[in-house]
């Protein structure tokens, strides 16, 4: 007998429910991320953290919050590479619904929710793409929710989306022809806004598979991963379920949250008079962001092979790792949403 659920409910159960995929599995066993590709990524994040720390005036405590921390590899890598003057002031927090990794350094806190009052850098690498969402399909009578049987992945159409989701679709992912599909990103917007309201000062960065209003995929991006391979997205808990992120919609949600936070802070400081400001937004690619952080993929001069063979091989390995992180058509195409309150 089929059990028909919305995709959002089915994803929530499959990924985060009792014995869900992310509570049972370690991500590195199933897919490759920038963090796992090379320690160069953690070094680049550290350079971003140093810049934020300087902009904040090198406070007594500076935060690094890794949202969707998984196995904690990014947080641990940044902590290990931090220079002494920063490390002694650094408060590192990994945020994930999974249990704390056994190998995680003791200095790293482990939380199941984003803490408040963050002053420093928030990094959310491939987190938003796993925030569950609903799928809608355009019909002659308008958008309808797509329902799924979690056991088989079979689908059928359900009711119309709620008014808030219809408004989101009209603004961020309008469909035009019957059969077109959209992934309703409002839960991702809300998740990202919940990060921004917890950012007292500093910068928040979301890194993810992304698309934008001018080029939404007409049939969606819902995908499954298992053991390093693409598989049908059956929400039975046996595989990762992911969908690319409408990162421009998340940016707008973050800006709204930033303005609201600034008004609240201003009202408190001015006896209820209200404030101004908010967050400053940059949308770019991983390639551009990492190039700006000194990750270039430049190969060492071949002459070094004759004077320092070991150094040449090390430099060549690093160049190869850097090249993968910024590769067009690969990791370099990831979207970077940067929102700062400095």
Q: Can you give the pTM of this predicted structure?
A: 0.92
Token pair 């420093």 is found at: 120
Measure the CA angle with vertex 133, ends 127 and 134; round to 5°: 165
Residue 275 has pLDDT above 50, yes or no: no
pLDDT per position as a tens digit, 81-106: 999 999 999 999 999 998 899 989 99
With residue 6 as reference, give the H or E element that holds it. Answer: strand 5-6
Per the model's pLDDT, the better-predicted residue between 33 and 220 turns out to be: 220
Closest-CA residue to 286 (of 40, 31, 54, 98): 40
What is the residue-averaged pLDDT of the chain? 92
Residue 266 has pLDDT above 60, yes or no: no
Confidence of residue 305 (pLDDT cuts 50, 70, 90): confident
Residue 273 has pLDDT above 80, yes or no: no
Confidence of residue 31 (pLDDT cuts 50, 70, 90): low
Question: 114-151: string of b/e by CB count within 10 Å (b at 16+)?
Answer: beeebbbbbbbbbbbbbbbbbbbbbeeeebbbbbbbbe
Closest-CA residue to 107 (of 83, 125, 87): 87
Q: How many CA atoms lie within 13 A of 120 on its CB side?
A: 27
Q: How far is CA 312 from CA 38, 39, 214, 222, 320, in A?
A: 18, 18, 44, 42, 12
Pairing status of strand 118-125 against strand 199-208: parallel
Over residues 249-278, mean pLDDT: 67
């Amino acid at each position: 007998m089929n059990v028909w659920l919305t995709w959002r409910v089915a994803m929530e159960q499959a990924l985060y429910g009792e014995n869900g995929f992310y509570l049972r599995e370690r991500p590195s066993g199933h897919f490759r991320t920038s963090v796992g590709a090379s320690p160069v990524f953690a070094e680049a994040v550290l350079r971003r953290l140093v810049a934020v720390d300087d902009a904040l005036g090198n406070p007594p405590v500076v935060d690094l919050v890794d949202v969707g921390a998984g196995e904690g590899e990014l947080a641990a890598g940044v902590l290990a590479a931090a220079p002494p003057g920063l490390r002694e002031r650094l408060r590192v927090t990994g945020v994930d619904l999974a249990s704390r990794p056994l190998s995680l350094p003791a200095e790293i806190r482990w939380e199941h929710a984003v803490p408040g009052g963050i002053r420093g850098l928030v990094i959310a690498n491939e987190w938003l793409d796993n925030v569950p969402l609903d799928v809608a399909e355009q019909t002659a009578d308008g958008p309808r929710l797509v329902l799924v049987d979690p056991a088989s992945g079979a689908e059928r159409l359900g009711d119309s989306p709620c008014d808030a989701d219809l408004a989101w679709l009209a603004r961020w992912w309008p469909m035009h022809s019957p059969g077109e599909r959209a992934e309703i990103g409002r839960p991702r917007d809300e998740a990202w806004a919940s990060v921004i309201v917890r950012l007292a000062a500093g910068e928040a960065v979301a890194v993810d598979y992304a698309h934008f209003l001018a080029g939404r995929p007409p049939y969606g991006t819902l995908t499954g991963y298992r053991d390093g391979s693409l598989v049908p997205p059956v929400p039975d808990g046996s595989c990762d379920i992911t969908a690319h992120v409408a990162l421009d919609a998340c940016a707008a949600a973050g800006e709204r949250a930033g303005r609201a936070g600034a008004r609240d802070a201003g009202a408190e400081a001015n006896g209820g008079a209200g404030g101004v400001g908010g967050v400053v937004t940059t949308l770019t690619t991983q390639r551009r962001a990492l190039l700006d952080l000194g990750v270039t993929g430049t190969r060492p001069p071949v002459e070094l092979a004759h004077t320092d063979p070991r150094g040449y091989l090390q430099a060549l390995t690093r160049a190869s790792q850097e090249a993968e992180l910024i590769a067009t058509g690969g990791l370099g195409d990831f979207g970077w949403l940067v929102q700062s309150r400095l």
